[in-house]
Structures are given as C-alpha cells and as structure tokens.
Amino acid sequence: MRRTTRFKRLINAREILVLPAVHDALGARIAEQAGFKAVTSGGYAATATLLGQPDTSQLSMTEMAEYYARLCEATALPVFADADTGFGNVTNVRRTVRAFERAGVAGLFIEDQVFPKRCGHMAGKAVVARAEWLAKIKAALDAREDGDLVIMARTDALATHDLDEAIARVQLAAEAGADLLFVEAPRNAAEMRRIVREAGGPCLANNLEGGFTPLLPAAELQKIGYAVVAFPTSATYAIAQALQELFAVMVRDGTSAAYRKRMLDFPRFNALIGTDALRAREAALLDYAERLAAPRRGAGSRSGRGRRRAAQLTR
C-alpha cells in the first residue's frame, strides 16, 4: 500500500493518529522503532536543525524538499510535511507540491500567513485574504499526481482576527476539497470543541510545549473529536536540553562519564541504526560476486572460442 493511502486511512480511522515530529533521519528511524504509525516534521524543527535559527521562512522550498527526501528514505512510515505558505503564489504552490511528492511525502499543508511566516505560537503574525489562500489550496489539490496525497489547510486567523474567521476559513477549505483542517493556536478546550464541531472535516490538534494551546492527552483530544494530534517540538526540545546537560558535564569534568547512564554506547547505537544488517548485506553481495567470478570447468575453452569469434567479427 502506498504511504499516501496508508496516511489517509490513518486520518480517517476511529482512533486518533499521534504524529511525533522528527527533525532528522535518525529521529525518523527511532520513531518507527518506537511503534508510531506516521511522523511529521515542520519548519520549526527543520530550521532549528539545519540552520540553528527560528522558524521565519529562512529555508527555501528546494531545501525543504531535500530535507523531506532524507526523512522519507530513512523510514517506511508516512511523512507529513510543512509546505509553509506554498513558497509564493499559486504557481509556486504547484511546483512545491510536485517537489514534495517526488521527495516521497504522504501529505503536506499550506497555511494562510503572509510571507515570511512565523511560528504559529509567535506574536506578530499576519494572514492573506481568504481568496488568495483558497486559491493556493485549490492549486495544491490540482497539482498532486497521487490523489491520496493528503492536503491540509492551515489557518492562523484565530490570532489575527477571531475564532469565527478561522472557522469560516477552514469551512471554505473543506468545501474546496482539503483532506485535513487545522486552526492554529486555540486557547482552551471550548474553542477546540467548536473548531471540531463546525470545521466540516477531519481536524488536527497541535501539542506544543509552552504554546498557547492547552496540552491535552491524545485520548482526550479524540473525545473532543480530533482526527490527528501532532507534537511538533517535543523531540527538538528534548534533544536541546539533553545536549545542554551533556555539554555542561563535559565542560565541568572534561569527560562524559557522569552522563554515561543517560547515553547509548557504541554497540547499542550501532544496533539502533542497523549496522549489523548493513554489514550482512555487504557480505552477502560480496559472496555472490566471488562465486560468480570463480573459475568454472570448461570456462577456459568457452573463453577461447569467444575470443576467436570476437577476432573474426573485427576483421
């Protein structure tokens, strides 16, 4: 089954889909081994990882497409991508969708912020007019070659206008054919219930530590009616704190010994990334090649006839 089809079925299943955000290929492998059914990665994690900078549209479309290609190659899980504002107008959106599809993603979202955008939980956001955003959603839907590629419509209008405007926008996106809907940064459970009740299609919740939206367990979000919950920053924050702690120990002690119990070691890490399987595959291929190249009875005479025939053909 294609990853796009699998992802769409997970969204439409009765059980809520939990999407951890990974920020590199290693994280994607770890998430798959942990038992998740799909993963995501947004511009926030990608920009922090690749540039060490805030999420303010600093990465180009081609950089993001290459980033997602690496994630998709590292895992068999569906990967849900952040297509930002589409990186331009409707023509740019079309190219973005094609590039992300080639990268192997199972879905992507287009948001209505003014470029350059900001993280959804940062102040100072602005959104484009309804028609401009809806045109981008329709362009994304028309551009996909795989009809099961999930297109999510995201609006930040709750912060710039009000909840009525945000809901009106996702309702229009649902009418246009969006597969998944996302109102960013609701402030309480009452707003979340209204979004799910009135949106007109499956909705995504965003669990961001320290953000505006209350962090609710997946089971509670499922009761509210959400189809998907993403954890866009959890892994990035955990890794950042772990590195801060590790490096502080190394600066203090000149060794990592005091931190060893919180680390993998060489054999365990090699097992995690599949070193033994890789070496076994290499050995099997070499064994095959050696057996194929080994001298066989009668090979010399056949080779001699082949050389004489070749000489005749070249005269």
Q: What is the CATH number of the domain that holds 142?
A: 3.20.20.60
> Residue 276 is part of which domain span?
264-295
* CA dist list (Å): 112 to 83, 138, 186: 11, 13, 16
Residues 75 and 150 in one domain: yes
* CA dist list (Å): 128 to 93, 167, 187, 303: 15, 15, 22, 73
Residue 184 domain-assigned?
yes
Residue 181 domain-assigned?
yes
For 45, the token pair is: 């994690």
Q: Which of 3, 8, 12, 4 is nearest to 226 (CA)?
A: 12
Residues 274 and 147 in one domain: no
Task: Return the pLDDT at 306.
Answer: 46
Among residues 232, 255, 279, the one where a domain terminates is: 232
Residues 288 and 159 in one domain: no
Residues 200 and 64 in one domain: yes
Task: Return the pLDDT at 166.
Answer: 98
Residues 29 and 74 in one domain: yes
Q: Which of 226, 231, 230 is nearest to 14 (CA)?
A: 226
* CA dist list (Å): 147 to 4, 5, 176, 229, 299: 9, 9, 14, 23, 54
Residues 130 and 273 in one domain: no
Residue 36 domain-assigned?
yes
* CA dist list (Å): 173 to 6, 141, 166, 260: 23, 11, 11, 50
Residue 301 domain-assigned?
no
Residues 69 and 217 in one domain: yes
Tallying the residues shown for the chain, one arrives at 315
H or E element that contains 187: none
Residues 271 and 186 in one domain: no
Task: Return the pLDDT at 313.
Answer: 43
Task: Return the pLDDT at 309.
Answer: 46
Residue 255 domain-assigned?
no
Residues 290 and 143 in one domain: no
Residue 242 domain-assigned?
no
- At residue 68, what is the residue type? Y
Residues 156 and 272 in one domain: no
Residues 273 and 132 in one domain: no
Residue 305 domain-assigned?
no
Residue 278 domain-assigned?
yes
- Alpha carbons 300 and 73: distance in angstroms, whole number: 44
Residues 201 and 271 in one domain: no
Q: Which residues of the chain have pLDDT under 70?
A: 118-124, 298-315
Structural domains counted in the chain = 2
